[in-house]
Chain A
């Protein structure tokens, strides 16, 4: 059994196809508007002027980030939750107890990854539970299994960091110091560090 599970995301491989988003929605039967995993497109760029030749060259960039709940080490959602419905448990997975949640949405207000997603019909908060049932059955999380580019993986956080480094502060995500996410990213070659971004999110309605 793992001490702390984490997701691994290889930004150099992601094509922004969103198969992970759909696999997650399908697996958990999520209603319209509720997305436990989302893919942000971050793009920007400018014109490079060559004074000698009097020419201009475009220097645009765009990259994708697939993210869900990061089952953080300093989970602001758990701290904020007045009912203790939001809790960190086995394998370091952060879950909502639906029988206890009062649907105040305070966790959703606080989380900088928009991971808690309110289910209007159920009247309670819902979020990524790392596909605990699939894990128990020896399977991988639905998003990881679905990715055609093999850009997603998961595992024990210490092992992932030993293998890929400890980077998680990539625009448009917040700096990792805020909630200490258990997320490991292999950055895209044009990726910008959180807080130094010059681009903007290209698909705000999709995330």
Chain B
């Protein structure tokens, strides 16, 4: 199951950081009426968590190169190779994200400029997720060359990005509370954001589960022998991992329901929130990592 481990780390980290940026953008967008100072105070801590994640992923991705010192050559086939596009988008996303985080941290430049930059970064992040999906949509690999690949990668991005942001928001809020500097507006914003993320997460996990039979059907009815070999790997050879992934999906759903239930409960449930948010994130992350390992392990190419 340890096929292409550096690529498992890279694709998960890249998708999680792109997803985080998109979710943060959504929080800003939907909370346009919230005073800017409150918004920044709540969301900035999450922003700083995104950068190191992507850098980690990019570093991991160079680990599988035979000649890593020439890694920059990977940009030479832009416009022709999706792998070049992926690496370009990854670098651009990391660069833009770093500039944005720095400006936001120092509160440099007009607010509008920073917002434009944030939208741009989120758009590049979305393109990055798409580019990664196209890298694997090779016409010689039936298990990958399907619209399931981009759909699945976007679900991963939003699920992991959302839950990571959710956990960061809750932890930062708890710190402010401990210091006695939390304002009611900030607490309300955190509450609304986390509720939205939890609902979105339930939707994502549900989609992931429901998508499975469709994907299995696709593999089972594909004319290429390679597709059926992939299916056999997924359900038989690595069936235990497929089952573990489903269990984690349900555990994630349970954790998110627990969070929503506690939040509806008013103040009493608040104490449990950081733990619940972290548990939900870790469960879903584990499920996604196993899912990505299965993705690589089930690769069967047509031909010889």
Query: What residues make up the interface of A, taking CB atoms closer than 8 Å to B?
Result: 38, 40, 67, 76, 79-85, 100-106, 109-114, 118-120, 122-125, 172-174, 178, 195, 197, 201, 207
Contacts and interface: CB of A to CB of B under 8 A. Distances in A.
Nearest to B70: A102
Interface string B209-241: 000000000000001110000000000000000
B75 interface: yes
A119 B71 CA distance: 17
Given A172-B303, A178-B302, A207-B304, A103 B66 contact: yes
A38 B303 CA distance: 13
B180 interface: no
A123 B304 contact: no
Task: Classify the interface of chain B: helix, strand, loop or mixed.
Answer: loop
Nearest to A114: B304
Contacts of A38: 304
A188 B128 CA distance: 48
A110 B303 contact: no
A102 B68 contact: yes
B73 A100 contact: yes
A178 B139 contact: yes
Nearest to B68: A102
A38 B80 CA distance: 30
A123 B76 contact: no
Contacts of B143: none
Interface in B134-149: 135, 138-141
B294 interface: no
B73 A76 contact: no
Interface stretch (B35-43, B50-58, B81-89): B81-89
A104 B74 contact: yes
A78 to B, nearest CB: 8
Contact of A103 (B65, B77, B138, B302): B65
Across chains A and B, which 5 residue pairs bring their CB atoms closest together, nearest first? A103-B66, A112-B303, A174-B303, A123-B66, A82-B83
Nearest to B87: A82
B113 to A, nearest CB: 33
15 contacts: A82-B73, A82-B76, A83-B76, A84-B73, A85-B73, A101-B66, A102-B66, A102-B74, A104-B83, A105-B66, A109-B141, A123-B66, A174-B303, A178-B139, A207-B304
B64 interface: yes
Max chain B C-beta neighbours (<10 A), residue from A100, A112, A178, A207: A112
Given A172-B304, A178-B140, A195-B223, A79 B81 contact: yes
A63 B302 CA distance: 19
